[in-house]
Amino acid sequence: MRKTILSSALLILSITVKAQVPGAVIDVQHYNFALQLTDVDNNIKGQATVDVKFLKNASAFSLDMVKKNSEGKGMLVSSVTENGKRLKFVQDTGVVKIYTNTKANSRHSYKISYAGIPADGLIISTNHFGHRTFFGDNWPNRAHNWLPCVDVPADKASVDFVVTAPDHYEVVSNGLKIKEQQLPNHLKLTHWHEAVVVPTKVMVIGVAAFAIDHQGDVGNIPVYTYVFPESKEAGFKSYAVAKDILPFFIKHVGPFSYEKLANVQSKTIFGGMENASAIFYFEESVTTPDIEELMAHEIAHQWFGDGASEKSFWHLWLSEGFATYMTNLYLENKYGADTLKKRMLADRKKVLGFEKERLTPVVDSAVKNDYMQLLNANSYQKGSWVLHMLRRKLTDGLFWKGIQNYYAKYRNSNANTDDLRREMEQVSGLDLTLFFNQWLRKAGHPDLNIGWHYDADKGAVSVNVYQKQDNLYEFPLEIAINGEVFHMQVKDKTTIAQFPVKVKPETVVPDPNVNVLASFSIEAQ
């Protein structure tokens, strides 16, 4: 995601969800959302069929759904049935509690009928050409404003969207379009099916007047562009870069999980949103100069965040930090190492600036409800920096092997920070507990005061590195003296090292290759 102002069929069918919220009663297997949209007003009608597996004996279970409020926004559930039999239910502010006696490991299918004006989640608006649009906008847990669901990233499921809307609209969604049927009264039914399990945060529909371009295939993956007709010329051209980006991640990370990739001009609250196989971009994206960077970020999410999803939002860096660094690696591969250095310098500046506003760890378990506050430099740029330092620590070969193993293990499932650590330890043979703890579970960064002194008699430079912050870090540090790079291991409050230098230094530069997330002051002594 970017902020504004911010596979064979057999494999797909064998996918099971491996992670749930601790204590969960149900594991959703599949959603079918039948939705009716109209131009008359913003009311929508829905019938959701939710297939669930019970994880324990239960007399009732709950689905998340925002109830109609005093302002008339929200959804009112009219009935819940199983095999045609009406069930008792109670709708509270944010949940629908359904009463039914079930046994552990049993499978059930429930139909929930509802209607209302979405308070959020489905953005019904007009684009800057004055045309009406409908766009799903679920991140982080806003899907239950318009869909009855388990609105957490740990419960992943396959999904169908069956949308009935005026026939002047095109509908795009997750997965493959399996049906489009003209109906009476100038209506049209469009059915999309996503066979791969995904979290609710990336289950969406986009309904608008679209110009559509099939830009070609990457292997067996069709790549599409959906833009507003007025943006056709610019959008078809600028979005075409997606075909260059997709192969990089397939080669370096692993197979693309989904049946297609659609890049969609949209009207939502984010600059880009990584909806599985149907990425939404902000309206002006068709002419933005950094479209390649934006697309690389959102396409990287198809692996990290969508494919391998975080178990909880506390581990959001596994999504946003990965997408940020994978973008940097794509651009480094295309434009060279200097591009990476410039981007890491800029990202370091953002991290240090954010710490002055709010000093929190990357894995921020203090956040309980307002997950929007996690869209910050810790989750994005610091998460990226952790991966950069891990890459330097492990070497490129081991880093990519660890990334590939991590993705292969948690593809179409969920992971947390320790899951990544274990995969990286397995490929490297290193104990990475200290590394992960100091960079991800503690707030702050190394703030270094570096002094140096040249001893002409010894022909050496003595370098003194003092960690000013309270929490000490352990890390390698490069020092460039007259352009020659020397290495030292920083560990204690004060670390002293001597390097052979024949003449008095003209320049002493810490971290010349931009490999440490730290701040520096340096002086001759």
Per-residue pLDDT of 501-513, as tens digits, reads: 999 999 999 999 9
Task: Return the pLDDT at 227.
Answer: 98
Interval 282-307 mean pLDDT:
98
Task: Return the pLDDT at 445.
Answer: 98
The pair of three-digit structure tokens given for residue 238, joined into one six-digit string: 């600028």
182, 68 in Cβ contact below 8 A? no
Tell the residue number behind the tokens 């997330």, with chain if given. 517
Angle CA 265–268–274, to nearest 5: 70
**How far is the C-alpha of 504 from the C-alpha of 302, rounded, in Å?**
52
Residue type, 482: N
174, 159 in Cβ contact below 8 A? yes
Using DSSP, state whether 413 is helix, strand or coil.
strand
Give me the CATH topology for the region 447-524: Immunoglobulin-like (2.60.40)
CATH superfamily of 309-441: Neutral Protease Domain 2 (1.10.390.10)
Tell the residue number behind the tokens 């064979």, with chain if given. 8
- Strands 519-524 and 447-455 come out as parallel
**How far is the C-alpha of 413 from the C-alpha of 304, rounded, in Å?**
11
Task: Return the pLDDT at 59.
Answer: 98
Which of 219, 225, 175, 172 lies closest to 198, judged by CA?
A: 175
DSSP 8-state symbol, 269 = S
Tell the residue number behind the tokens 């049906």, with chain if given. 179
Say if residue 21's pLDDT is above 90. Answer: no
Cis previous bond, 140, omega within 30: yes
Task: Return the pLDDT at 31.
Answer: 98
Task: Return the pLDDT at 339.
Answer: 98
276, 302 in Cβ contact below 8 A? yes
416, 316 in Cβ contact below 8 A? no
Say if residue 18's pLDDT is above 60. Answer: no
Which of 286, 249, 256 lies closest to 271, judged by CA?
A: 286
**How far is the C-alpha of 302 from the C-alpha of 114, rounded, in Å?**
31
Task: Return the pLDDT at 15.
Answer: 37
Task: Return the pLDDT at 1.
Answer: 77
Q: How far is CA 79 from the centre of its chain?
A: 34
Task: Return the pLDDT at 351.
Answer: 98
The pair of three-digit structure tokens given for residue 328, joined into one six-digit string: 């940097």
Say if residue 2's pLDDT is above 80. Answer: no
Q: How far is CA 466 from the centre of its chain?
A: 37
Domain ranges of the chain: 2-300, 309-441, 447-524
Interval 487-501 mean pLDDT:
97
Per-residue pLDDT of 423-435, as tens digits, reads: 999 999 999 999 9
Interval 104-109 mean pLDDT:
98
Say if residue 16's pLDDT is above 50. Answer: no
* Backbone region of residue 62 per phi and psi (left: phi > 0; alpha: psi in -120 to 50; beta: other values): beta
DSSP of 465-503? EEE-SSS---EEEEEEETTEEEEEEE-SSEEEEEEE-SS
Say if residue 17's pLDDT is above 80. Answer: no
Q: Do domains 2-300 and 309-441 have the same CATH topology?
A: no
Task: Return the pLDDT at 320.
Answer: 98
Task: Return the pLDDT at 8.
Answer: 31
Interval 246-254 mean pLDDT:
98
**How far is the C-alpha of 382 from the C-alpha of 480, rounded, in Å?**
24
Say if residue 321's pLDDT is above 50. Answer: yes
Say if residue 9's pLDDT is above 90. Answer: no
Task: Return the pLDDT at 7.
Answer: 34
Say if residue 302's pLDDT is above 90. Answer: yes
Mean per-residue pLDDT of the chain: 95
Per-residue pLDDT of 24-76, as tens digits, reads: 999 999 999 999 999 999 999 999 999 999 999 999 999 999 999 999 999 99
Which of 282, 235, 206, 231 lies closest to 4, judged by CA?
A: 282
Say if residue 14's pLDDT is above 70. Answer: no
Task: Return the pLDDT at 19.
Answer: 61
277, 242 in Cβ contact below 8 A? no
Interval 170-184 mean pLDDT:
98
DSSP of 136-178? E--TTTTGGGTS-B--STTS-EEEEEEEEEETT-EEEESSEEE
Phi, psi torsion values for 42, nearest 5 degrees: -95, 10
The pair of three-digit structure tokens given for residue 488, joined into one six-digit string: 């030292």
CATH superfamily of 2-300: tricorn interacting facor f3 domain (2.60.40.1730)
Per-residue pLDDT of 397-450, as tens digits, reads: 999 999 999 999 999 999 999 999 999 999 999 999 999 999 999 999 999 999
Per-residue pLDDT of 361-395, as tens digits, reads: 999 999 988 999 999 999 999 999 999 999 999 99
Please tell me the number of Cα atoms within 13 Å of 361 on its side-chain side: 15
Task: Return the pLDDT at 494.
Answer: 98
> pTM to 2 decimals?
0.95
Phi, psi torsion values for 126, nearest 5 degrees: -125, 140
Task: Return the pLDDT at 438.
Answer: 98
Residue type, 423: E
Interval 95-108 mean pLDDT:
98
**How far is the C-alpha of 154 from the C-alpha of 145, rounded, in Å?**
18
